[in-house]
Structure 1
């Protein structure tokens, strides 16, 4: 499908190591928290390596995992084989999801809204594909509430963005979700410290939101 891909060859090579390190220090628990209670048909937007697949609960009927980066998508296809629930990996971008209207119970964003170029378009697409009563789940890097730490994020963000597959650590993702027409129902804000240390990507949120009525 034309226009569905992005290419981050350097990031795709180093991200498996970054992810393994993060999972060894608490990211697995974050993924489990993100997906607890998820059920029905799920679309995961920006599935990356497929690291969430093993954490979907048995009440999930199917996961459609959308990933535009071909190297990461190949890894996700391998992870889908080991998943406990049916997973279909598709090429596609968050801003134009390869999915029908009103077709999913849950849309999952996991460490991806920091990289998407057009966040309002991606959230609008998530809203489009959600069935009535559906919800989004999100686990994201965000801008810090601490002004001094936020200044550090802004200084380092250009380099971080270049090396991190487009990751922007200065985004106010909770506000973006609300401005896209969602009501945040649950949210936990935290600093993901590894070995007691924070980095520019440490300020994080995990939560649930539903389309506003």
Structure 2
């Protein structure tokens, strides 16, 4: 199985979209996601390295996994100026070539919407975390109203083909809670603010613990 998942058009566009998101408040969300993170960290789906600048001094090492080659190359460049040591590797979330119980924290941000097999990815994240280790997650998720859920399900007919496999209707928070993690806390919110319906607006930031 190759560790590459190629999405060349999306990989060119996404850093620009993320920069706009950061200006609208996404950077503050990444700060919230990573606040207080310490020890050895695994980040899966690191993209172009948008999280790297937000890690604090308590982090001893970040191992960043990214399957898209163009984004991975940009992550390598971002790692060079990160405030903590970052090693960027190829890989996919469902098959992590890493030892059991070898990380203190695992981080996923805007990732579980697009992995091909979320249950397998969550099982792998749990496997590589030490007992008591944290899963930090920042994801867009299924909405809480019937109207939004219907809108998201219709959108998912075509959205994954435009956005590198991203699905807007996944109940990611519920999947985490059923995957051997205990959710310590999470915050749901709509982002970005808009007068128009946005199927990707429902978000969650949370912390779950591997028991």
Please indicate the TM-score interval, normalised by the length of the shorter structure. Answer: over 0.9
> Aligned with 2:207: secondary structure?
strand
Hey, what does 2:102 align to over in structure 1? Answer: 103
Asked whether 1:114 is paired with 2:107, we answer no
The superposition leaves residues 59-83 of structure 1 with CA deviations (integer Å, 9 ceiling, x where unpaired) of: 0000000000101100100100110
The DSSP-based 3-state class of the residue aligned with 1:3 is coil
**Cα distance in 1, alignment partners of residues 74 and 170 from structure 2:** 27
CA displacement, residues 95-146 of structure 1 (integer Å, 9 cap, x when unaligned): 1112111110000011000000111111111111111221100000101001
CA contact (8 A) 1:191 1:198 kept: no
Q: CA deviation at 1:194?
A: 3.5
Q: Distance in 1 between matches of 2:71 and 2:131?
A: 31
Q: Distance in 2 between matches of 1:150 and 1:65?
A: 32
Aligned partner of 1:144 in structure 2 is 143
User: Under a length normalisation based on structure 1, what TM-score does the superposition of the two structures give?
Assistant: 0.96
Cα-to-partner distance string for 1:133-169 (whole Å, 9 max, x where unaligned): 2110000010100111111111112222111111000
Give the conservation status (yes or no) of the 8 Å contact 2:130–2:210.
Answer: no
Map of 2:210 onto structure 1: 211
After TM superposition, list the pairs within 5 Å mapping 1:29-108 onto structure 2.
Answer: 29-108=28-107
Deviation at 1:198, TM superposition (A): 4.8
- Aligned residue pair count: 211
Check whether the contact 1:37–1:57 (CA below 8 A) recurs between aligned residues.
yes
Unmatched tracts of structure 2, length 5 or more: none
CA RMSD of aligned residues (A): 1.1
Q: Distance in 1 between matches of 2:59 and 2:24?
A: 27
TM-score (normalised: structure 2): 0.97
